[in-house]
Amino acid sequence: IRRNPGQPEFHQAVEEVAEKLIPFINENPKYLDASILERMTEPDRVISFRVTWMDDEGNIRVNRGHRVQFNGAIGPYKGGLRFDKSVSLGTLKFLGFEQVLKNSLTTLPMGGAKGGSDFNPKGKSEAEIMRFCHAFMTELYRYIGKDTDVPAGDIGVGGREVSFMFGQYRRIANEYTGVLTGKNLAFGGSNARTEATGYGSVYFAKEMLAVRNDDFNGKKTVVSGSGNVAQYTVEKLIQLGATVLTVSDRGGFLHDPDGIDAEKLTHIQQLKNVDRVSLGEYVKKDPGATYTEGQRPWGIKTDLAFPSATQNELDEKDAETLITNGCILVCEGANMPSTNKAVKVFEKNKIMYGPGKAANAGGVAISGLEMTQNSMRLQWSFEEVDEKLQGIMKKIHAKCMKYGQEDGWVDYVKGANIGGFVKVADALLAYGVI
């Protein structure tokens, strides 16, 4: 805490990982003797910069940008960019630290990073978003490259923003390389990248259910968020036979007791991706549904829960409510949506709990495959990529089982943390004192 003051989310992420890793490290003294955990909790490099841009009224605005290149032991740095007013260095350090373990779990050669800005995209015009993205990349471009560091999207950074940034990179670096992922299909994007995090999270849950010979058929499900991850989580859940009862946004949550079907999902996508308005608008068209302001969906009776909005959106009390209401599985599309105390409740009750670093790794895995396709200068079909995604989620699940299987229960947190750690730790050991 003295070393990293004012970074509570970073402390939270490290604490959760260290708790599971320390017993393993004690059993494997080669990691202890080489101070591997100390090395892995210190970023390789933190870059901060000013982003100056002009709003539509001609005012000059100043934001702060960061890139945290956390650990590059097993490949080029890889991880998303977040544009949100809440972004601080501590947020990006927590995300970058988690990303190192997640990327290792995917089995692909990618180091971990995260970046972003405290720029608030809410209420900004398209022209302002473009000017900000161009200004952001004008500074970031000197630190990234296809073999060095390959950023992607995250909260507030979708296809539109990636396109603005890629256009600016291409222009100022005078090179056409896969320096960002999540690109448009017309200029180097991968099929199924948009869907990958949400689909991957559902594929991971499918594997978890299969351990108990169970599946999605007829299962009631609550999802939080209504952005990229949530939308494709809902789509895949519907396809696999679950009934999705909720989605949410910053203002509250939407509950549709009849279930959100494919047509209703299209309506939600129109509201969030095109009109960029509150989910509250949904009930105008579907009066059977309700929008509850200022609340999250964890009080709705459900079998399965997919937190897919943001960090710390599910606390101890929510965890208890979910379990009292009969929830048997929690699968995290978002990064660290459950507080550490909520995780303890899941563990105490031995429900199936898939932590984000394993369950939402499908997005970065397909980003990794976007890099592969860019290097080969070809594009695989949607079906091909989707099949690879399913294979990768299976492998991640198997790795979690390998390190996390206990008597009659799987500790996925332990499995994911140790599974992600070993590969990076072994690379650091092999490199010597680095």
Binding site for substrate: which residues?
Answer: 78, 99, 102, 153, 367
Both tokens assigned to 123: 């209420």
Cα angle: 92, vertex 273, 304; to 5 degrees: 70
Contact call for residues 228 and 197 (beta carbons, < 8 A)? yes
- Exactly one of 195, 249, 318, 411 binds ligand NDP (CB under 6 A); which one? 249
Does residue 354 touch ligand NDP according to CB under 6 A?
Answer: no
Name the segment binding ligand NDP (CB under 6 A); options: 203-211, 226-234, 318-326, 340-348: 226-234
CA 83/CA 100 separation, integer angstroms? 20
- Exactly one of 112, 363, 368, 420 binds ligand NDP (CB under 6 A); which one? 363
Q: Which residues contact 14 (CB under 8 A, 6 or more apart)?
A: 41, 97
Does residue 333 touch ligand NDP according to CB under 6 A?
Answer: yes
- Judged by beta carbon, residue 249 or residue 256, the one nearer ligand NDP is 249
SS3 54: strand
Interactions with ligand NDP, residue window 12-71 (CB under 6 A): none
Contact call for residues 286 and 247 (beta carbons, < 8 A)? no
Does residue 229 touch ligand NDP according to CB under 6 A?
Answer: yes
Does residue 310 touch ligand NDP according to CB under 6 A?
Answer: yes
Does residue 335 touch ligand NDP according to CB under 6 A?
Answer: yes
Helices 193-211 and 228-239, axial angle in degrees (round to 10)? 50
CA 189/CA 18 separation, integer angstroms? 36
A 10 A CB-CB count for 89 gives 18
Both tokens assigned to 433: 């004192």
Q: Provide DSSP, 373-386.
A: HHHHT----HHHHH
Catalytic site includes residue 114: yes
Smallest separation, CB 182 to ligand NDP (Å): 7
- Judged by beta carbon, residue 43 or residue 200, the one nearer ligand NDP is 200
Quote helix, strand, coil % in the chain, to nearest 5: 50, 20, 30
- Judged by beta carbon, residue 193 or residue 399, the one nearer ligand NDP is 193
Q: Which residues define the annotated binding site?
A: 78, 99, 102, 153, 197, 228, 367
Smallest separation, CB 391 to ligand NDP (Å): 18
Q: Which of 114, 183, 220, 399 is catalytic?
A: 114
Question: How many helices, marked H, and strands, marked E, lie in the chain?
Answer: 16, 14
Name the segment binding ligand NDP (CB under 6 A); options: 37-45, 47-55, 220-228, 263-271: 220-228
In 3D, which of 4, 27, 6 has the Cα closest to residue 414?
27
Name the segment binding ligand NDP (CB under 6 A); options: 35-43, 202-210, 215-223, 228-236: 228-236
- Exactly one of 228, 243, 373, 417 binds ligand NDP (CB under 6 A); which one? 228
Does residue 250 touch ligand NDP according to CB under 6 A?
Answer: yes
Does residue 226 touch ligand NDP according to CB under 6 A?
Answer: yes
- The binding track of 268-297 with respect to ligand NDP, each residue x by CB under 6 A or -, is ----x-------------------------
Q: Kindly report the backbone phi and psi dihedral angles of residue 243, in degrees, each rounded to the nearest multiple of 5, phi listed first.
A: -105, 115
SS3 253: strand
Does residue 360 touch ligand NDP according to CB under 6 A?
Answer: yes
SS3 114: strand
- The binding track of 121-160 with respect to ligand NDP, each residue x by CB under 6 A or -, is --------------------------------xxxx-x--
SS3 96: helix
Provide the residue count of the chain: 434
Q: Annotated active-site positions, please?
A: 114
Using CB under 6 A, list all residues that contact ligand NDP.
Answer: 153-156, 158, 197, 225-230, 249-250, 272, 308-310, 313, 333-335, 360, 363
